[in-house]
Amino acid sequence: MALADCAMNALIEEACLTPKPALVDRRGSGAHRDLDLDIMLRSARALQPTFLALARASSNTRPSQRLREQLARIGREGEVAMMRATGGSNAHRGAIWIVGLLLAGAAMSPSGALTTVCSQAAAISRFEDRFAPQAVAQTHGARIVQKFGVAGARGQAAEGFPHVLEVGLPALREARARGASENEARLDALLAIIATLDDTCLLHRGGRVALEAAQSGAREVLQAGGASQSEGFAALLRLDRKLMELNASPGGAADLLAATLFLDTLPCVG
């Protein structure tokens, strides 16, 4: 139950974080027409039973073909619950995959290091889901991976979640060490991820123009001292306006921030 609640809460905390560039937050819907904060919160809460089922299935096991397909089935059932709760809006499909895998890794290694959690999750992801519906290969993310030659969410998982372990978590902890508030530290973690991620959501909605605008804008915020500094906060608001003009949002980075927040809650060492 504890892991499932941590996963659910990570999605809630990511959604509520404000101000995020062109993403749903407490101010409004960002660049999304079919999402708002209420929908995101309903989606997160609807996924708690899914996260619980993922944790139970993974406890006291090892990565295997059988487990991969069992988790995939649970995840697809979770998507149905999510879509029912949101009235058909895809609020957290990417997060079900990313956070769900990390939750499974944590259930396998409840007292392990975060690197162990990520390596277990990566090992699961590398097995093929032989029962995946054909529609999975035709998602926006899958088409963008093929078109632009980027890693996407599946590549991120197979590589051991480098943007969580090597980017998001260090940025979060460094901002806290500088004296930033928790909200500011989480914004800096998101911006660090945006600055370095080939975000398939941005590529889908705005192509290379949107991706480059997001990455350069996020770097500008961080170079100005991050969200805790007046110049950095002003740069964050400029980035928000730019991505709103492009009608593009860094949804992939948001999922990885949720994963970062999830790992940050685990009672693990480094």
Q: What is the pLDDT of residues 221-266, one digit of tens each?
A: 999 999 999 999 999 999 999 999 999 999 999 999 999 999 999 9
| Residue 252 structural domain | 2-265
Reference 249, options 209, 197, 205, 215; nearest CA is: 205
The DSSP 8-state label assigned to residue 22 in this structure reads T
Q: Number of structural domains, the chain?
A: 1
Q: What is the pLDDT of residues 65-102, one digit of tens each?
A: 999 999 999 999 999 999 999 999 999 999 999 999 99
Asked whether residue 53 is assigned to any structural domain, the reply reads: yes
Asked if residue 156 belongs to a domain, the reply is yes
What Cα–Cα distance (Å) separates residue 103 from each residue in 100, 106, 137, 234, 242? 5, 5, 24, 36, 34
pLDDT value at position 151?
67
pLDDT digits (tens, 9 = 90+) for 93-133: 999 999 999 999 999 987 779 999 999 999 999 999 888 77
> Quick check: is 105 in a domain?
yes
In a domain, 149, yes or no: yes
Residue 157 domain flag: yes
Q: Is residue 270 part of a domain?
A: no
3-state secondary structure of 220: helix
Q: What is the pLDDT at residue 112?
A: 78
Q: How confident is the model at residue 200 (pLDDT cuts 50, 70, 90)?
A: very high
Q: Is the residue at 6 inside a domain? A: yes
Cα 169 → chain centroid: 13
Look at residue 247 and tell me if it is in a domain: yes
Q: Mean pLDDT in the chain?
A: 93
As a whole number, mean pLDDT of residues 215-226 equals: 98
